[in-house]
Structure 1
Amino acid sequence: MTGGDEPAPARVQAKVGAAVLAGIGPRGAEGTDGARPHSDGGAGARSRSEETVDVRFPFEGTVGLWELLDDMAAAPRLVVGDERVRAFLVDVGRRLRAPEVARRHPELASLGFFLRRSELERAAGPLPGAAGSLPGAAGSLPGAAGSLPGAAGVGGAGEFVRVPRGLVFHVAPANVDTVFVYSWALSALMGNRNVVRLSARAGGTAQAILTIMRDALDDADPVVARTQRIVSYGHPRPGARRIPVEPPHKQLEHASPGHHASSDHHQGEHSGKPPRTSPVTHPEPVAPADAGSGGAAGPTAVLSAACDLRVIWGGDRTVNEIRRHPLAPHARDLTFPDRSSFAVIRARAWLEATPATRETVADGFAIDAYWFDQAACSSPGTVFWVGSPIECAMARDGFAACLAEAVARRGWTVDTAMAVEKRVAAYGLAADGVADAVEFHGNVLAQVILTSPGAAPRRWLGTGTFAHARIGSLDELADVVRRKDQTLTHFGFDRDELAGLARALGGRGVDRIVPIGNALGFHRVWDGVDLPAELSRVITVQ
């Protein structure tokens, strides 16, 4: 059998075997453990990597890493906008919006909204108002061709067909339990096969999502289970059962409805979503300690070498560590590293607002900040007040009172350990000479009054700790923003003012400018990247 006629599993083994063992390993021109590559390519790779992973979707169990890759390679192909995938995602969204789920996990409401059919069609369709968008390329007509405006002189005039990128490897963060679903859902909708590495430390919210996804397979086309995997590896999950399972497609053929885990476990502890009290966490570093026993390449190295696109969510350290695992020459990285965010409020607008408006703004700010313990990249850490010194001082005091009431209405609390951590961080800023005053409203809210706008901290200070600074005009933010800044939430400004600020920033930073209360809302354009475009390829047809 010639190379072009090899079965898919053989091609996967040869591809990854060459990548991991033949000169692109982290230690240079030799294999990952310093040995010369085997001449038998895939067979050598298989013998040298006996790693297993804990599969968490579409079933629960432990499988060999090569077995997982072989099975996915042999799965039927999807197309961009595949209706079988779309139907599954819509069903998952419907289940997430069910009243009993909303009561236990209210933070899943926005995810359920994102997975509505109309939202998915909007997310995977052409980007409105974007130059160079592909009309009809990813909409209701899967894989449809569309003309690319302005492409002459770039890709040449002609027709273009959008196709899946291939195998996408996602590394999800551990501190925001819902992020992995957004990037995976868009990638699956664009027709990709996906392997999501979910941290073994993911919390009860992630467990609830996985249970719902497994339950939804009962009504889904089998192709969904054949092409999508969510796995954990590295540190063992508490109580995880390491049991061998038969190949996934065979297991799913005769799985009974009772196969899926009960949706009741871990859910009672999340009523009202009180903030957690642990510091921000990110995926465990995986290189070079990712090597398996006996020096074999570990799961991250193998999955990195096998994928066509690697999506990394996490801290800067995580991104740099995972990047040490080489990709195939044609593959690329899509990274979402550490980011910081802030809010800007016109003081006079706050002072002139009705009590109902103030309550709405404070409630939205509380959701932006407290849902994920202020550890989400889009959660505000600093509030900039625009106006005179007297206006800003009055508005800041009134805002603090409203915010404390909003947190109390939701029953959120911060325990003593976190309160101590917050005080250490707040007084540390004062000791560093960047804070004029520190104010506490019980354990849930701490305010640090900065000496200047340029002193705004970019690090996490603890749940419910906010720095405050005054600026004379919105334009002054242009001198404060850094490339690390992601989301600006606002109140009291019109769209023209905000668009003017975006132009004045000139690419120095800030990728999103949204009203207070919308910081955690997910959009297809994230960190300035149009995800559907990155998760697919365009073929020129002339």
Structure 2
Amino acid sequence: MLKYVDAAIHMPNNIETVKFLTTMTDSDYESFLNLSPFPPFSEEVITYLNSLSKLLNKDPRVRQYPDVATFSFFCRKANIVQLKRMFLKDGALILGRGIVFHIAPSNVPVNFAYSLIAGLLSGNSNIVRVPSKNFEQVKIIVDAINTLSHKSEHANITNRIILVKYDRSSEATERFSLVCDVRIIWGGDETIHQIRTNPLPPRAFDITFADRYSICAINADSYINEMLPEKISVGFYNDTYLFDQNACTSPHLIFWLGNKENVRKSQMIFWDSLYKIVSEKYQVQAVTAVDKITSFYSQAIMGSNLSLEQKKDNLLYRIKLGELTEDIDQFRCHSGYFSEYHASSLLELSTVINRKYQTLSYYGFSKKDISGFIKLARPVGIDRIVPIGKTMDFSLNWDGYNLVDSLSRVIEIF
């Protein structure tokens, strides 16, 4: 007997705008809907991910895309086994929830793959909507997944993966929502609101990763003694320019802490070093240049105590703030647009942090410094705190969610 009503069980291949990136027939789809869940971190999934990692490592295209290389590194067996020790509860009887429908963000190419991995590791079958834009990174990973689909030893995992691409006008979101146990939505606030108009089964629920704002704190008293400032700049470039500063994890507001003279010197070293990297690797489109200057004018109108630091071109905008205002997160742009402020202490960060704040990247602070700040300030925002260069590193704890717990269910025996 099929678990779902007939109206929902037919694969939506009659919707012209849906493109299936993995091979799937009507019969395959019906079987997919009735697959039993795995326990989290099953050996079959670990083996599959390790094979995926090896396959990606052999692909010469990966060398051009550090985000794909990082994803491949994440999938290694050694890393997954370590995560298993961290996330799996000894002795607990746990299974995946069933089917997870992932709606990936349109502006971060590899995010769909991490979301898929979270679903697999939690024991679930997965329907993943990949970005509609033609990212080469997406193609590389999808090619590897399809290659593994021809390996008989991985059949029990590949039949739990459906990858689709479609535009916003498609009815596919409604169809897939009707058969899922969990719907994961990565996107802006308006996108989430629109997707939520599509009903879920009674016991299903949403996990939403909404529009967020991220910041960076640099201790100038430490940075001034940094022997390899270029390394820090490369990390910051990867945090920001690599995805046009559109990722929720990309910092927009930079806090400088320390002696005034050290801050001045550190800013000069840091931004000059970053500019050299940007000028070699990055190009600004004409429309982006207009967006930047328009954003600055809007910010200048609303706040008088600020200035645009001298710039050579449109690659890097630095807006120096004389004071912090609670609405600073409203003034943001992309592709290299940064507000910066000299803070008296980490505690001053809490005067602007609200629920929209996600990631705090840092340099020159100890974990004791950071944890002390969090314990004292108890901010309503900030879910991730990572060193500069690590903001895009995926974790199974994301935006305050333990994804393994959220995507699995504990079965109690009394």
TM-score, structure 1 normalization: 0.71
The match for 1:309 among 155, 174, 182 is: 182
Is the Cα–Cα contact under 8 Å of residues 425 and 462 in structure 1 kept in the other structure? no
Q: CA-to-partner distance for each residue in 1:72-99, whole Å, 9 max, x for gaps?
A: 1244654432322222211111222336
Partner-residue secondary structure (3-state), 1:301? helix
Shift of 1:462: 2.2
Q: What are the residue-to-residue correspondences of 1:489-508 with 2, within 5 Å?
A: 489-508=361-380
Q: Which consecutive residues of structure 1, in runs of 5 or more, have no partner in the other structure?
A: 1-6, 18-41, 128-133, 137-145, 147-159, 236-283, 291-297
What's the CA shift string for 1:465-511, capped at 9, x where partnerless? Answer: 11111110111111121111111011111111100112234241101
**Residue 353 of structure 2 corresponds to which residue in structure 1?**
481
Q: Which amino acid aligns with 2:150?
A: D
Aligned equivalent of 1:84, options 2, 26, 44: 44
List 4+ stretches of structure 1 deviating above 4 A. 46-50, 74-77
- Partner of residue 327, structure 1: 200
522-531 or 118-127, which deviates more: 118-127
For 2:391, what is the secondary structure of its paired residue? coil
1:454-465 to structure 2, matched below 5 A, reads 454=325, 456-458=328-330, 460-465=332-337
Unaligned 5+ runs, structure 2: none
Structure 1 residue 418, shift from structure 2 partner:
2.0
Retained in 2: the 8 A contact 1:427–1:438? Answer: no
- Name the amino acid aligned to 1:375: N
- 1:52 CA drift (Å): 5.8
Q: CA deviation at 1:457?
A: 3.0
Deviation sequence 1:406-465 (CA, Å, 0-9, x none): 3245x2222333223222222331232255211323232111112322253345412011
Does the aligned pair in 2 maintain the 1:378–1:487 contact within 8 Å?
A: yes
Is residue 2:191 matched to residue 1:230? no
1:70 aligns with 2:30: yes
Q: Retained in 2: the 8 A contact 1:366–1:403?
A: yes
Map of 1:348 onto structure 2: 221
Q: What is the match of residue 101 of structure 1?
A: 61
Distance 1:497 1:48 in 2: 53
Q: How does 1:153-232 map to 2 (within 5 A)?
A: 160-219=92-151, 220-232=153-165
After TM superposition, give the deviation of residue 191 of structure 1 in Å: 1.8
Tell me whether 1:12 sits opposite 2:1 in the alignment.
no
Give the TM-score normalised by structure 2: 0.91
Match of 2:268 among 392, 397, 411: 397
Equivalence map 1:136-151=2 (5 Å): 136=90, 146=91
Q: Give the letter for the 2:250 counterpart.
A: S
Instruction: Give the distance between the partners of 1:48 and 1:105, measured in 2 at CA.
Output: 33
Does residue 397 of structure 2 align to residue 525 of structure 1?
Answer: yes
Identity of aligned residues (%): 29
Equivalent pair of 1:434/1:452 in contact (CA under 8 Å) = no
Alignment-derived partner of residue 430 in structure 1:
300
Matched residue SS, 1:306? coil
8 A Cα contact 2:299 2:331, kept in partner: no
Q: Give the secondary structure class of the aligned counterpart of 2:86.
A: coil
Give the length in aligned residue pairs: 411
Aligned counterparts of 2:96 and 2:292: Cα–Cα separation in 1: 46
* Counterparts of 2:324 and 2:312, CA distance in 1: 23
Q: 1:171 to 1:432 in 2, by over 3 A?
A: same
CA 1:318–1:427 in 2, change beyond 3 Å: closer, same or farther?
A: same
The residue identity in structure 2 corresponding to 1:94 is K
* 3-state SS in 1 of match to 2:295: helix
Name the residue aligned to 2:339: 467
CA distance in 1, matches of 2:89, 2:72: 26
Q: Which has the larger radius of gyration?
A: 1
Is the contact between residue 12 and residue 172 of structure 2 (CA under 8 Å) also seen in structure 1? no
Partner of 2:290: 420
Cα deviation, residue 535, structure 1: 1.1
Query: 1:319 touches 1:337 (CA, 8 Å); kept in 2?
Result: yes
Task: Tell me whether 1:54 sits opposite 2:46 in the alignment.
Answer: no
The AA in structure 2 aligned to 1:135 is K
> Structure 1 CA distance, aligned partners of 2:42 and 2:118?
11
